[in-house]
Amino acid sequence: MAKLWGGRFEGQADALVEALGQSVSLDARLAPWDIRGSIAHARMLGTCGIIPRRDAQKIIAGLNQIAKDIADGAFVFEPALEDVHTNIESALVKRIGDAGKRLHTGRSRNDQIALDVRLWLRDQIDAVLAQLRALQRALLDMAEAHIGVILPGCTHLQHAQPVLLAHHLLAYVEMLERDYERFSQVQARVNVLPLGSAALAGTPYPIDREMVARELGFPRVSRNSMDAVADRDHLIEFCAGAALCMMHLSRWCEELILWSTPEYGFIEIGDAFTTGSSIMPQKKNPDVAELVRGKTGRVYGSLLTLLTIMKGLPLTYNRDLQEDKEPLFDASDTLQLCLAVLTRMTPEIAVHAGRMQEAAREGFMEATDIADYLAARGLPFREAHEIVGKMVRYCIEQGKRLPDLTPGEFGRFSPLFQRDVLKQLTLHGIVSKRNQAGGTAPARVRTALRKARRFIDKTGK
Active-site positions read: 156, 277
Judged by beta carbon, residue 259 or residue 317, the one nearer ligand ARG is 317
**Site size toward ligand ARG, by CB under 6 A:** 10
Residue 457 CB, nearest approach to ligand ARG (Å)? 40
**Rounded-to-integer distance, Cα 431 and Cα 394, Å:** 24
Q: Which is nearer to ligand ARG, 123 or 320 (CB)?
A: 320
CB 292 within 8 A of CB 249: yes
Count the alpha carbons within 13 Å of 38 in the hemisphere toward its beta carbon. 31
Bridge partners, 155 (sequence order): 158
Q: Is 8 a residue that touches ligand ARG (CB under 6 A)?
A: no
Secondary structure E strands in 120-167 = 150-155, 158-164
Q: Is residue 249 a contact point for ligand ARG (CB under 6 A)?
A: no
Residue 319 beta carbon to ligand ARG: minimum distance, rounded to whole angstroms: 6
Which of these ranges, 65-73, 318-326, 406-414, 444-452, lies near ligand ARG under the rule CB under 6 A? 318-326
83 binds ligand ARG (CB under 6 A): yes
CB of 147 to ligand ARG, least distance (A): 51
Which one, of 245, 46, 39, lies nearest residue 129 by Cα?
Answer: 245
CB of 199 to ligand ARG, least distance (A): 7
Minimum CB distance to ligand ARG smaller for 86 or for 357: 86
Give the C-alpha separation, 354 to 357, whole Å: 5
Q: Which of 42, 63, 66, 113 binds ligand ARG (CB under 6 A)?
A: 113
Residues composing the chain = 461
Q: Is 316 helix (H, G, I), strand (E, B) or coil?
A: coil
Nearer to ligand ARG, 127 or 199 (CB): 199
Rounded CA separation 91/457 (Å): 45
Rounded distance between C-alpha atoms, residue 26 and residue 357, angstroms: 51
Task: Determine if 317 is a binding residue for ligand ARG (CB under 6 A).
Answer: yes
Q: Does 109 interact with ligand ARG (rule: CB under 6 A)?
A: yes
Tell me whether residue 113 or residue 256 sits nearer to ligand ARG (CB atom).
113
The residue range among 49-57, 59-67, 105-113, 401-409 that interacts with ligand ARG, by the rule CB under 6 A, is: 105-113
Shortest Cβ distance from residue 30 to ligand ARG (Å)?
A: 9
Q: Compute the least distance from the CB of residue 143 to ligand ARG, in Å.
A: 44
Site for ligand ARG in 253-312 (CB under 6 A): none
Contact stretch for ligand ARG (CB under 6 A) within 37-45, 55-63, 319-327, 341-349: 319-327
Helices (H), 153-232: 165-190, 209-216, 225-230
- Smaller CB distance to ligand ARG: residue 27 or 179? 27
State the binding string over 20-49 for ligand ARG (x if CB under 6 A, else -).
Answer: ---x---x----------------------
Does 322 participate in binding ligand ARG (rule CB under 6 A)? yes
Give, in order, the Cα–Cα distances in Å from 343 to each of 261, 289, 362: 21, 12, 32
From the list 12-20, 124-132, 154-162, 314-322, the region that binds ligand ARG by CB under 6 A is 314-322
Rounded least distance, CB 16 to ligand ARG, Å: 17
The CA R_g of the chain, rounded to the nearest whole Å, is 31
Cβ closer to ligand ARG: 113 or 289?
113
Distance (Å, rounded) from C-alpha 156 to C-alpha 159? 8
Query: In terms of CB distance, is 167 or 234 closer to ligand ARG?
Result: 234
Phi then psi for residue 53, to 5 deg, are -55, -40
Q: Considering only residues 110, 124, 161, 302, which one is a binding residue for ligand ARG as defined by CB under 6 A?
A: 110
Min CB(114)–ligand ARG separation in Å: 9
CB contact burial 418-431 (16+ within 10 A = b; e otherwise) = eeebbebbebeebb
* Residue among 1, 22, 21 at smallest CA distance from 12: 1
Rounded to the nearest 10 degrees, what angle do helices 233-259 and 287-310 cross at? Answer: 160
For residues 310 and 225, give the distance between their C-alpha atoms in angstroms, rounded to a whole number: 18
Which candidate, 197, 196, 237, places its Cα nearest to that of 317?
197
- The answer to whether 245 contacts ligand ARG (rule: CB under 6 A) is no
Query: Which residues sit at the interface with ligand ARG, rule CB under 6 A?
Result: 23, 27, 83, 109-110, 113, 317, 319, 321-322
